[in-house]
A and B are shown apart, each in its own frame.
Chain A
Amino acid sequence: MTREIEPVFIVGTGRCGSTMLSNMIRDHADILSVSEFLVSVTDFAGRIPQAFPEGRSMDAHQVWEVLAGFHPRQTAMLRHAVEMDEMLYPLAPSSRFSRQSGVPAILYVTLPHLTPDHDALFEELQDYVMTFKPDLAIRQYQRVFEWLKVRFGKKVWVERSGGSLRAVPRLAKSLPEAKFVHIVRDGRDCAISMSKHMGFRMVMACTIMSQILGYDPYDSDRREGVEELPDQFYHLLPEHFNAEAFAKLDAPATLFGHYWSGEMMRGLKTLAGLSADRVLTIHFEDILAQPEPWLRRLVEFIDPSFVDEDWVQRAATAVGPVRSSWCKLPASQQSALTDACAPGFQALAAHGFKREPDTVPASMPLFARLRQKVSPAIALTKFVGVRPALAVAKARRGRIGGLPASIA
């Protein structure tokens, strides 16, 4: 009889290095890496009530509507070519879906992350979902993950979505058996990265618009009070959306520093309420500095029987250079950003996860830095073969950089 292994969610504030873990885990023989499922089906957390209707069952068609839906924020961004870097669906002329048609939520990242034959998998999944009897949303999604697990011959699934720290209360309540890996990265680097990230910029724009209007303009036909919107947000309404206005959106790192602090304060409080054996907290900077022990610890937490030294070594070589760094900012901006992140740092210290705010990754010897530059591309090819590696590289618009650690 096979032992039941608890599902795992890798959570974080977003832009915290968790994508790197998804990519590493994808190569593990026993672990199914479910990437960006929550963020895609909730349309950047804007459609949580639709994806997780409170206390209500969802039938097969409703589940498929969420999984395969063309969600408004994602579609607007796609049509104006401001999609996230993480999007893996190839927008080639021969592709089934296009910028104009929109791309089903689960095809943005989740299915292409697992196989280059994602369109066929999408069809298979639809056939399976259509057999669902009504049940709570989380249980339906769990069935999807279980099906994918079996389909890919794995023993456990691990879901990871950018910014899913705020989903922990809902997940922990609905799946009392689930465990959580909390990836923590210096808030200043997260904030800088968020301020440049299309998804987070969209989330921030929608948050501000919803707050001013009192409703979400991406999920409502109401338009009263639009005169209250400052010009820069008026041009981000779905009917006026344009890439130029989106690029000009003034959403600096300090704003996201405050956001990071808020997410960290709330997230740590929630995680502290769970039993200790359900939570593992890892600092991203520790993985960068010493990948092997931390990757080993991660797999031990998922299940000790999955520790595979070959995988640990391979995954460790895929640790890439960090793109954004608060240390490169002018002194005044460093100071403002540190102030914005201070409540988050204080919360980390209060929960026993203190890292000195001024700590920077130790500088590496020249050889190690060269190895970091070259090894990700080689590692990716070794992990998934030449074709998928090229597909990933193409999807990232030809930026063959392997697995940049800064993609979260």
Chain B
Amino acid sequence: MTTIHFVTGGTGFVGSNLILELLGEPRTEVYALTRPTGQPAETRLQSALRHAARAAGHYDGLDGAIARRCHALEGDIHSENCGVSAGTFPRPDQFWHVAASLRYEDRYAAEIFRTNVEGTRNALALARCSGVERHFNYVSTAYVSGCRMGVIREEVGCRHAANNPYEGSKMEAETLVHQSHDLHPRIFRPSIVIGHSITREVSSGFSGLYGFIKRVLKLRQLLDRIQDGLSSRAGLRVIADPAALLNLIPVDVVARQMVRISRSRSRAPVFHITNPTPPPAAEVSRVIFRELELQPPVFVSDVNGMNWIEQKVEEGLGFYKAYFRGTRLFDRENSDWALGVKISEPGYRMDSSTVTEYVRWYADVLRGTTNLLPGAVAEAA
């Protein structure tokens, strides 16, 4: 019997990898809500999925399955019922709402909330109209924990101050989802999603760690534009908590765990899709600075004694600063139970050499020494 999945955000980083994972089950068909931005929705979806498959090391091995079993539905989460009539696609077994705005700046707050909260409301309405059989799966973020530190449990409704509008919008959207009992909702909370665990590659969605790397590179280039070699002469002081952990998790691990949990018998409402053995943020910073040919950063606890450039670097890191402050330990009780306790996952490994491979791949992309797949170039740079 064929299983039908409905996915929003299927052309994005997590969404496209989720679809590839779903296709691993032979009798699966995917209907993906797709905006026709610049090209027809079907073309855009097929292209995004083929790029994701190549970044995941499948080369053209999944092209046939993508063409046969993935179908674009033209629509937009900003529209009522996402602009889709329920009768235009088969009744889904599972509904996956992945589409989101990853912006975080205050000046875009209205747009972020429109996409992430109203968009979720529209997705819930569409799921309801479509008569989804089993679950409404919502991809949130582990950083709905906001300013909270320490052990973060897989709970809903523990509202804490958000670091930025992105986190605030995801908190509000989670509440909407959690209250939709009729749809048997599940909330997945990935942490900082990075490239594929084997290839280290990313096909789209250069935010998170990649946004941070790009920002550090631009700061370096700016320093050198102000004065040749300025960036390489002195070590920059950066505010970071030496004990902070940077919870990096590869995209294929995220997709695999979400799909496996969706097929499990777990009735838990929330699942942390996080790395139980995350690397120290300080170590990741050192790797990034080294790969971008900067002197190692000097970690300090506050801005006292920082020179102007260091203060500007600090301000320039904006959203990413929150990753480097304090220690959050994401409890995975629900996830581990659903997956079969203490699964062995090679993708969790984030030692210095592994982090270096991830960072180097993207540094090479930014330097233009790695050929990206067409379509990803403009977004990556």
Contacts and interface: CB of A to CB of B under 8 A. Distances in A.
A401 interface: no
Given A227-B103, A230-B315, A231-B107, A211 B225 contact: yes
B163 interface: no
Contact of A234 (B107, B215, B218): B107
A336 B307 contact: yes
B222 A211 contact: yes
B307 A254 contact: yes
Interface in B97-130: 103, 105-108
Interface class of chain A by DSSP: helix
Nearest to A336: B307
Nearest to B316: A230
B230 to A, nearest CB: 6
A154 B228 CA distance: 40
Interface string B296-324: 00000000000111001001101000000
A261 B230 CA distance: 10
A227 B108 contact: yes
A343 B222 contact: no
B227 interface: yes
A207 interface: yes
A259 B225 CA distance: 9
Contact of B226 (A228, A234, A258): A258
A238 interface: no
A262 B103 contact: no
A121 interface: no
Contacts of A250: 312
A258 B230 contact: yes
Contact of B228 (A214, A255, A262): A262
Contacts of B226: 207, 255, 258-259, 262
Nearest to B103: A227
Contacts of A227: 103, 105, 108
Interface in A197-219: 207-208, 211-212, 214
A48 interface: no
B221 interface: yes
A304 interface: no
B228 A224 contact: no
A265 B218 CA distance: 22
B158 interface: no
Interface string B214-234: 010010011101111010010
Contact of A258 (B227, B316, B381): B227
A207 B381 contact: no
Contacts of A208: 222
B interface residue count range (under 10 / 10 to 19 / 20 to 34 / 35 or more): 20 to 34
Contacts of B223: 258
B1 interface: no
A214 B222 CA distance: 11
Given A230-B318, A255-B308, A336-B307, A211 B221 contact: yes
A234 B222 CA distance: 17
A26 interface: no
Nearest to A339: B307
B378 interface: yes
Contacts of A255: 226, 308-309
Nearest to B378: A224
Interface class of chain B by DSSP: helix
A266 B224 CA distance: 12
B58 to A, nearest CB: 29
A interface residue count range (under 10 / 10 to 19 / 20 to 34 / 35 or more): 20 to 34
Nearest to A343: B227
Nearest to A344: B227
Interface string A292-322: 0000000000000000000000000000000
A208 B225 CA distance: 9
A266 B307 contact: no
Nearest to B227: A262
Contacts of B381: 214
Contact of B227 (A214, A224, A231, A259): A259
Contacts of A230: 315-316, 318
Interface in A225-253: 227-228, 230-231, 234, 250, 252
A254 B226 CA distance: 11
Contacts of A262: 226-228, 230
Nearest to B105: A227
A138 to B, nearest CB: 25
A254 B311 CA distance: 12
Nearest to A260: B227
Contacts of B105: 227, 231
A234 B108 CA distance: 12
Interface string A336-359: 100000010000000000000000
Contacts of A252: 308
Interface in A106-134: none
Nearest to B223: A258
Nearest to A232: B315
B216 to A, nearest CB: 12
Contacts of B318: 230
Contacts of B230: 258, 262
B227 A265 contact: yes
Contacts of A343: 227, 233
Interface in A260-288: 261-262, 265-266
A250 B309 CA distance: 11
Contacts of A261: 227
A207 B226 CA distance: 8
A7 B189 CA distance: 69
Contacts of B228: 262, 265-266
A258 B107 contact: no
Nearest to A235: B107
A261 B233 CA distance: 13
A231 B307 CA distance: 21
A266 B378 CA distance: 33
Chain B CB count within 10 A is highest, among A227, A252, A265, A336, for: A227
Nearest to A261: B227
A254 B308 contact: yes
Nearest to B215: A228
25 contacts: A208-B222, A211-B221, A211-B225, A212-B218, A212-B222, A224-B378, A227-B108, A228-B215, A230-B315, A230-B316, A230-B318, A231-B105, A231-B106, A254-B307, A255-B309, A258-B226, A259-B226, A262-B226, A262-B227, A262-B230, A265-B227, A336-B307, A336-B308, A343-B227, A343-B233
Interface of A: 207-208, 211-212, 214, 224, 227-228, 230-231, 234, 250, 252, 254-255, 258-259, 261-262, 265-266, 336, 343
Given A208-B222, A227-B105, A259-B226, 14 more contacts: A207-B226, A211-B221, A227-B103, A228-B218, A230-B315, A255-B226, A258-B223, A258-B227, A259-B227, A262-B227, A262-B228, A262-B230, A265-B228, A336-B308
Nearest first, the 7 A-B pairs at minimum CB distance are: A262-B227, A211-B222, A258-B227, A254-B308, A259-B226, A258-B226, A252-B308
Interface of B: 103, 105-108, 215, 218, 221-223, 225-228, 230, 233, 307-309, 312, 315-316, 318, 378, 381
